[in-house]
Structure 1
Amino acid sequence: MSGVPPRRMVPAYLVTGGRTRPSRTAFDRLTVLHSASPEPPDELDPEHRSLWALLRDGALTLVEAAAHLRLPVSATNFLAADLVDAGRLQARAPVPRAQQIDRALVERLLVGLRTLR
């Protein structure tokens, strides 16, 4: 069974510390998280420290971080909210979907550019 990842020692629901809601409004699954401090957090438990270490060198969405940590997105949301509150992570809203461009406007722009030649 070499292809089977090892089982988590701590059940995912314990990551929340018995809370039913994160300290802040829940993040969107595509919220971008990145480290806000260069120093590792000493006072945090192992799950918080793992999330911070994962984001130390770059940014990931909440759902990507959850996959790397092998935790449910809802549990990772608690960890991220705690770290944002502690000033160890920063969260950025997901990039909005691009809106449909008005084709008539683009055609007028192309005509105008062609007349400049």
Structure 2
Amino acid sequence: MDEAEPEGRLVRPFTLTGGRTRPSREDFSLITTVTAVVAPPEHAVRPQAEHLRILRLCGEPVAVAELAARLDLPVSVVVILLCDLLEAGRITARPPHPVTRTAVDLDLLRRLKEGLGRI
């Protein structure tokens, strides 16, 4: 007897993207934060079922990696779907905050090393 596919997974991921394998934009990384737009544009077309699942999960800001985990879909598929939603004006995407490098205080590090050496 054949084992059934995991519950809820009736469609292969590539069919969710219409066969697309690459995102149409470069806006998304694993830690990009996405949020659903409260009032979608009037011209917005009705989203597919997977788009609706994403929109429900994006009521509060959520990272792309977390979204993929919650949807149980590959990140690459989720990013393609997010591109669709971003282009339709249904979500916003915030890139991660850049980490600024501060000047290294070598004297402080030396004193710290000496202090740890005395322990």
TM normalised by structure 2 equals: 0.72
Mapped contact 1:26–1:77 kept (Cα < 8 A): no
The aligned counterpart of 1:68 is: 70
Q: Which moved more, 1:29-38 or 1:63-72?
A: 29-38
The structure 1 segments of at least 4 consecutive aligned residues displaced by more than 3 Å after TM superposition are none
Mapped contact 2:68–2:74 kept (Cα < 8 A): yes
Question: Once the two structures are superposed, what CA deviation does each residue of 1:52-92 show, in whole Å capped at 9, x if it has no partner?
Answer: 11002x11111100000000000000111110100010001
In 2: Cα distance, 1:91 partner to 1:12 partner: 22
CA RMSD after TM alignment: 2.4
Which letter maps to 2:28?
F
The aligned counterpart of 1:53 is: 56
In 2: Cα distance, 1:54 partner to 1:11 partner: 21
The aligned counterpart of 1:113 is: none
Mapped contact 2:14–2:20 kept (Cα < 8 A): no
TM normalised by structure 1 equals: 0.73
Unaligned runs of 5+ in 1: 107-117
CA 1:49 to 1:11, structure 2 compared with 1: closer, same or farther past 3 Å?
same
Unaligned runs of 5+ in 2: 1-5, 109-119
Aligned length: 100
* SS of 1:10 mapped into structure 2: coil
Percent identity over paired residues: 35
In 2: Cα distance, 1:55 partner to 1:42 partner: 18
Deviation of 1:98 after TM superposition, in Å, equals: 4.7
